[in-house]
Chain A
Amino acid sequence: MTAAGIAGRAQTAGWRPARVAARLRRSWPSWLLILVTLLFTAPFLWVFTHSLESSAEWAQNKTVLWPHAPTLANYRAVLFKDGFLTNVANSVIVAAATTAATLVFGSLAGYALARLPMRGKSAILGFILLAGFFPLTAMIGPLFKVMSRLGLLDTLTAVSISDLIYTLPLATWLLASLFAQLPEEIEEAAMVDGCTRLGALRRVVAPLAAPALATAAVLSFILAWSDFTFSLSFLQDESHFTAPLAMLQLGQTKFYTYYNLTDATVVITALPIVVLVLVMQRRIVSGLTGGAVK
């Protein structure tokens, strides 16, 4: 609070209309921000509200803020009758697998790029980052052929491997930045104290790297969870679909205009991400913006 701010505050204290008006005029950025935030969250709220609406109420089209008789029937139906639970499980499997592979590959590559003497370091890093910009739909044709030849068509494995394109560039970049920041002397101290290089990594570097690994893991999970293109291209059997794909397919073929049911699938699909973001928001923000602004 600057001196001017405090003085200004004094001028607008109190509840007389003129003073209130002055306060509103002064705090217009806050109000605008609240409005903007509402605009961005309102669609979620709308969808959530309508997911609690029974199909009967939905047909009557009365609900605005809250259904008269909110029910979880839609969720039960969608998860158990329409098999959406399987789809959610598939998404979990794919996202978890991709995240695990990303952490392993990304840490190895990130550490090597940050620490070890290599010629062509910038070329390697440049390639990894460039891969993140590659047009996805250009890949699905050739990858389709490869997957079918490998017998991986219609499997979650195919999707998981392809999802690495979302996660590896960002994760490697993040982890390389982190490892570059860790002072090399700590590893050296550990080696002088009796560790092998691997031992030093395990005992000393790993705990320090844990936060960055967590960030990389969260971002990878979110990105892999969102995949649609590869699921759409490789998966054929409904029971193999991932959640986003099943959500769309059910909505288009089974639920049709019964948006209350579709909304239930939407909420389920979005929920893990919402939870992750709310819990890890600071990590996510720092992970995204850490190296972006060079």
Chain B
Amino acid sequence: MSAVDVAPATAPRARRALRWRPGERTGYAMASPAVIALAAITAYPLLWNLWTSFHDVDPLTGGTGQFVGLSNYRAVFSSQTGLLAALMHTLIYMVVSVTVEMALGLGIALLLNRPMRGRALCRTLILLPWAVPTVVSALVWQTLFDPQGGGVNYMLSMLHLPGSHTVWIGATASATWASILVADAWQSTPFVALMLLAGLQAIPRELYEAARVDGASAWQTFRGVTLPNLRPALMVTLVFRTLQAFLIFDIIYALTQGGPGTSTQTISYMTYYNFIVSDNFGVGAAISIVMVIVCLLIAGVYRVLLRPST
């Protein structure tokens, strides 16, 4: 039965003047600034990218502006332009960093969940790295990873551990990726820990007490009570982190500029490069669309996983 059927025929339609309760129209009006602003920043670029990715566009020289079909996309996936490699690097990094950060974050969250003195202070201090700008993290770790005067090598030699003369950034690909991971994890793990801590604190005390009464061991309690109830928080945090890891840009630009060589170029970096440096807007747009599709895929995968398998 639709609303139209039910509205009585006698309802006065004409007078809207003195209604005290603003209806739909006011609602849309109030929400529109936010929606328009965001649409201008996201929807418009998206559409523009979609169009541009199929054309040859170059803002400086003008390009041909012609429809070039899939040639931009082919460039993305060809090994010549190194874009495919960048995509692969990014995906591998994404998997590794998310795994590391989720594990560490969970551990920290479990620690913070115990009642102890100074817990709030610790939580605040751990949160600091997340709050500061990403380039701050990059430069902090650049200092720390300095082969001569840096804190990392210093600590390693103090503790008589191997590797105290490693050149972390810019020499080998693996060492460089390691330093990127450290700088990123330093910032992201607190965020993961905070999200998971909130999830942990939402688990009712009674469930743990029931498990204790039932004689469950610490591990059994973790598996049977903690993990299942943490699932929503885990999933939400996973989605956030995965997307953020996939899109990593600031740290790469600030720390390595994609070096040594091209080994630490990520897909976002390549987008930036094509748009701003080499002015290859067509390719840049194509990469953007590919990125958006991957993001949607990631979100979609998690959406499916998020469906509770009760």
CA distance A29 to B117 in the complex (A): 12
Beta-carbon contact of A274 and B143 below 8 Å: no
Do A233 and B122 have beta carbons less than 8 Å apart? Answer: no
Q: With an 8 A cutoff between CB atoms, is A113 at the interface? A: yes
Nearest A residue to B246, CB-CB: A135
Proximity string of chain B (33-44) to chain A, C-beta cutoff 8 Å, 1 when within and 0 when not? 111011101101
Across chains A and B, the number of contacting residue pairs, with CB separation under 8 Å, is: 288
Please give the distance in Å from B61's CB to the nearest CB on chain A: 14
- Contact between chains at B34 and A168 (CB < 8 Å): yes
> Could you tell me which residues of chain A, from 93 to 150, have a CB within 8 Å of some CB in chain B?
101, 104-106, 108-109, 111-113, 116-119, 124, 127-128, 131, 133-146, 148
The residue in chain B whose Cβ has the minimal distance to the Cβ of A165 is B41
Contacts A244-B135, A270-B136, A289-B198 given; does A135 touch B232 at CB 8 Å:
no
Closest to B44 in A: A142
**A275-294 contact mask (Cβ, 8 Å, vs B): 1 or 0:** 01110011011001100111
Whether B27 contacts A293 by the Cβ 8 Å rule is no
What residues of chain B lie closer than 8 Å to A278, measured between beta carbons?
124
Main secondary structure, interface of B, reads: helix
Residues of B within 8 A of A40 (CB): 125-126, 128-129, 186, 190
Q: Which residues from A are CB-within-8-Å of B243?
A: 133
Interface set, chain B 264-299, CB cutoff 8 A to A: 268-269, 271-272, 274-276, 281, 284-285, 287-289, 291-292, 295, 299
Q: List chain B residues, Cβ under 8 A from A145.
A: 48, 59, 281
**Contact B272 A228, beta carbon cutoff 8 Å:** no
Q: Cβ of B48: which chain A residues have Cβ within 8 Å of it? A: 141-142, 145
Structural contact, A136 and B249, CB atoms closer than 8 A: yes
Nearest CB in chain A to that of B107: its residue? A36
Q: Tell me which residues across on chain B come within 8 A of A257, comparing CB atoms.
A: 146
Q: Whole-angstrom distance between the alpha carbons of A153 and B284 in the complex?
A: 19
Specify which chain A residues have a CB less than 8 angstroms from the CB of B24 in the assembled complex.
116-119
Query: Which residues from 170 to 208 on chain B have a C-beta closer than 8 Å to any C-beta of chain A?
Result: 186, 190, 194-195, 197-199, 202
Q: Please, which residues of chain A bring their CB within 8 A of the CB of B281?
A: 141, 145
B70-78, B147-155, B159-167: which lies at the interface: B147-155
Least CB distance, A42 to chain B, in whole angstroms: 8
Say yes or no: is A66 at the interface (Cβ < 8 Å to chain B). Answer: no
Complex Cα spacing A233 to B269, Å: 12
Q: B254 within 8 Å of A by Cβ?
A: yes
Interface residues of B toward A: which range? 35 or more
Give the segment of B7-15, B95-103, B108-116, B216-224 that binds chain A: B108-116
Q: Does A43 lie within 8 Å of B124, measured CB to CB?
A: no
Q: How many residues of A contact B (CB 8 A)?
A: 95
| A 231-267 to B, binary, CB cutoff 8 A, 1 in contact else 0 | 0110000000001110110010000010100110110
B247 interface hit (Cβ, 8 Å) = yes
Cβ of B238 within 8 Å of any chain A Cβ, yes or no, is no
Complex alpha-carbon distance, A134 and B236, angstroms = 16
CA distance A156 to B250 in the complex (A): 19
* Cα–Cα distance between A262 and B141 once the two chains are bound (Å): 12
Q: Is B304 at the interface (CB under 8 A from chain A)?
A: no
* Chain B residues whose CB sits within 8 angstroms of the CB of A227 once the complex forms: 133
**When A229-B249, A278-B124 are in contact, do A43 and B34 touch as well, CB less than 8 Å?**
no
B26 and A116 contacting across the interface, CB-CB below 8 Å: yes
Q: What 1/0 flags go to A187-211 for Cβ under 8 Å of B?
A: 0000100000100000000000000
Per the bound structure, the CA–CA distance linking A113 and B28 in Å amounts to: 9
Check A164 for interface membership: any CB of B closer than 8 A: yes
Are A58 and B149 within 8 A (Cβ)?
Answer: yes
In contact, A32 and B42 (Cβ under 8 angstroms)? no
* Residue contacts A-B, CB under 8 angstroms, 27 given: A34-B122, A37-B125, A43-B140, A43-B141, A43-B186, A47-B140, A64-B154, A109-B30, A117-B24, A124-B31, A135-B291, A137-B271, A138-B46, A138-B292, A139-B288, A141-B284, A168-B37, A169-B38, A197-B22, A227-B133, A247-B139, A263-B143, A266-B136, A285-B123, A289-B198, A293-B198, A293-B236
Q: Which 10 residue pairs are nearest across A and B when measured between Cβ atoms? A: A138-B288, A116-B27, A289-B198, A141-B275, A112-B30, A142-B45, A109-B34, A226-B133, A142-B48, A118-B27
User: Measuring CB to CB, which residues of chain A are less than 8 angstroms from any residue of chain B?
Assistant: 29-30, 32-34, 36-37, 40-44, 46-47, 50, 58, 61, 64, 101, 104-106, 108-109, 111-113, 116-119, 124, 127-128, 131, 133-146, 148, 161-162, 164-165, 168-169, 172, 191, 197, 222, 225-229, 232-233, 243-245, 247-248, 251, 257, 259, 262-263, 265-266, 269-270, 273-274, 276-278, 281-282, 284-285, 288-289, 292-294
